[in-house]
């Protein structure tokens, strides 16, 4: 069987994690054709090595990527000679829409002596059932893979699985035995292929190693399709699969998130506004509420009515006497963000620690930035950085927080491991987003690196305050705090890259904020999501 030389690839992952890795591999320059080519060749190699005497091989292929893997396997098995290979396609060739499937079908049809049987209905399958039995000696199941999500199987897939299981041929499943529903649990709600061998790509999927699924999986083979370990630790477009962008049609104000921003002082009036504005523009929240000293709140009210700056805090700085007043708003909010523009007065720092402590105690998600990070470090309250807390330091603030100077390690990957280990030993389960030329995001166990952003974002507010707002918004939309932080770094950096591309090093924080929707539109199918929520009558008018 194909030899896997990797010593890091044995741990099981979910199908969602695999989708993320696949898309990020393409982002990092690995063409999808290469991934499919490697997958199909791995399947063909397993067939040859397990069943060297088999001379008649049938590939049953769906119209998705799983089917494309099977079609590639068919080409290799044919080209290696001495075997007759047929493909049963569950649909018409003209129905194929996936680019890779279309391309590989075109190769088979371009003069290769591989018969393709089109079977869009169960009746077409039954008309050719003799190729399942007695003709086939080996059947490759490339029907569905990870595509099934709840409910019963559709036709002609269900009939194809029945014919495969009734055949006396050896069965080889591509990635997942078709019918495991969902693949992450290993459950079978209707029927599933009972494979002798399953060739899964990159890593085992969690549903394949569950107790009781061996009757469907058979022997499990892990295929190396050319995805390096580093790609699992890179933030990219694939990570947006973790984000819930859609909204319920019956949503009312506040259902999609209310974020409370605590910050500002007499000296620093703009930072907290930029964070609150970025959260609204990210699309993750309905309400951005700012609690700031009186003059800061008045300026925000005058400048932008979309930000709710109530009630203003008496005085020029955050004080301990404000804590009870702020906690009334904490109880109404999904996420609390604290830090931008606060300053470092002693009483302010004590108020910061008290607010974070009480917010954590009542189970709120908390984002800690800027001067609030310094307050925690100065007062030795690193114990507050627990589950559902994200901290966003730069290298200097990280040293203030942990005592460790990460700039001494110049290699990016070594620095990431250093930061991960420091977070594991110094903090209590929170997430650190270490800002830099390459951002490092870690919870002390997992870690990710972000390669978006540019030197133009050293302009005050562009990297720190805007990022705080984006993180706060995505803490509402992304369940996993590490992924919320990772996606935020990626999106904010890419928005900054768009701004610099258009304006050069003449950007303002608001230019980054304005580019945030463009980033989401370029990476997600926003039009379809939005159109599905608009009343049909209105769609007729707006097109």
Domain residue spans of the chain: 15-233, 255-524
Q: Does domain 15-233 have CATH number 3.30.70.360?
A: no
Query: DSSP string of 115-163?
Result: EEEE--SHHHHHHTGGGTTTT-SEEEEES-GGG--SSPPPTTHHHHHHH
Other CB atoms within 10 A of residue 84 CB: 16
Classify domain 255-524 at the CATH topology level. 3.40.1190
The pLDDT score that the predictor gives to residue 3 is: 63
pLDDT tens column, 89-124: 999 999 999 999 999 999 999 889 999 999 999 999
Separation of CA 66 from chain center: 21
pTM above 0.75, yes or no: yes
The pLDDT score that the predictor gives to residue 253 is: 81
Look at 47-61, 212-226, 242-256, 454-468 and tell me which has the smallest mean pLDDT. 242-256
The pLDDT score that the predictor gives to residue 117 is: 98
Strand order in the sheet with 431-434: 287-291, 258-262, 335-338, 365-368, 389-391, 431-434, 439-442, 447-450
Give the confidence band of 247 by pLDDT, cuts at 50, 70, 90.
confident
Other CB atoms within 10 A of residue 203 CB: 23
Q: Would the pLDDT of 359 be above 80?
A: yes
Averaged pLDDT score across all residues of the chain:
94
For residue 55, the 8-state DSSP code is -
Give the confidence band of 186 by pLDDT, cuts at 50, 70, 90.
confident
The pLDDT score that the predictor gives to residue 45 is: 97
The pLDDT score that the predictor gives to residue 529 is: 82
**Max CA distance (Å), the chain:** 87
Burial of 490-528, coded b for 16+ CB within 10 Å and e otherwise, reads: bbbbbbbbbbbeeeeeebebbbbbebbeebbeebeeeee
Consecutive H or E run containing 100: helix 99-109
- In this prediction, residues 369-376 reach a mean pLDDT of 96
Distance from C-alpha of 171 to C-alpha of 86, rounded to nearest angstrom: 15
């Amino acid at each position: 069987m194909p030899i896997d030389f990797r010593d890091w690839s044995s741990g099981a992952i979910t199908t969602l994690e695999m989708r993320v890795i696949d898309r990020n591999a393409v982002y990092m320059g690995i063409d999808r054709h290469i991934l499919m080519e490697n997958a199909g060749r791995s399947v063909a190699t397993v067939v040859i090595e397990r069943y060297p005497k088999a001379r008649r091989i049938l590939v049953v292929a769906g119209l998705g990527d799983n089917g494309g893997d099977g079609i590639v396997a068919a080409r290799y098995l044919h080209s290696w000679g001495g075997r007759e290979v047929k493909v049963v396609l569950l649909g018409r060739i003209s129905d194929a829409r996936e680019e890779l499937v279309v391309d590989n079908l075109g190769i088979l049809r371009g003069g290769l002596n591989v018969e393709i049987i089109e079977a869009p209905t169960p009746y077409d399958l039954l008309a050719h059932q003799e190729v399942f039995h007695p003709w086939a000696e080996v059947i490759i199941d490339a029907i569905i893979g990870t595509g099934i999500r709840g409910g019963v199987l559709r036709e002609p897939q269900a009939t194809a699985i029945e014919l495969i299981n009734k055949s006396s041929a050896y069965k080889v499943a591509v990635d997942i035995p078709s019918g495991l529903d969902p693949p992450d649990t290993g459950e079978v709600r209707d029927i599933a292929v009972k494979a002798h061998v399953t060739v899964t790509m990159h890593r085992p999927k969690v549903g394949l190693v569950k107790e009781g699924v061996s009757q469907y999986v058979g022997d499990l083979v892990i295929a190396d399709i050319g995805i390096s370990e580093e790609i699992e630790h890179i933030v990219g477009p694939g990570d947006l699969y973790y984000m819930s962008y859609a909204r319920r049609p019956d949503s009312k104000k506040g259902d999609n998130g209310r974020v409370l921003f605590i910050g500002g002082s007499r000296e620093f009036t703009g930072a907290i506004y930029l964070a609150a504005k970025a959260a609204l523009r990210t699309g993750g929240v309905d309400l951005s509420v700012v609690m700031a000293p009186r003059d800061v709140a008045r300026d925000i009210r005058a400048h932008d009515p979309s930000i709710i700056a109530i009630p203003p805090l008496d005085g020029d700085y955050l004080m301990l006497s404000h804590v009870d007043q702020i906690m009334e708003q904490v109880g109404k909010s999904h996420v609390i963000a604290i830090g931008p523009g606060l300053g470092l007065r002693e009483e302010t720092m004590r108020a910061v620690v008290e607010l974070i402590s009480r917010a954590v105690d009542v189970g709120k998600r908390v984002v800690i930035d800027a001067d609030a990070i310094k307050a925690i470090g100065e007062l030795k309250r690193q114990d507050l950085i627990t589950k559902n807390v994200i901290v966003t330091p730069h290298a200097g603030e990280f040293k203030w927080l942990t005592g460790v100077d990460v700039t001494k390690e110049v290699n990016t990957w070594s620095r990431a491991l250093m930061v991960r280990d420091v977070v594991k030993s110094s903090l209590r389960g929170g997430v650190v987003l270490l800002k830099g030329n390459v951002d490092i995001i870690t919870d002390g166990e997992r870690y990710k690196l972000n390669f978006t952003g540019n030197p133009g974002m050293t302009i005050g507010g562009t990297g720190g305050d805007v990022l705080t707002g984006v993180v706060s918004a995505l803490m509402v939309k992304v369940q996993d705090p590490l992924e919320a932080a990772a996606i935020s770094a990626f999106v904010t950096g890419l928005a900054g890259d768009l701004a610099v591309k258009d304006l050069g090093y003449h950007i303002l924080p608001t230019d980054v904020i304005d580019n945030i929707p463009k980033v989401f539109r370029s990476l997600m199918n926003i039009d379809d999501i939005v159109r599905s929520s608009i009343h049909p009558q209105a769609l007729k008018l707006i097109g």
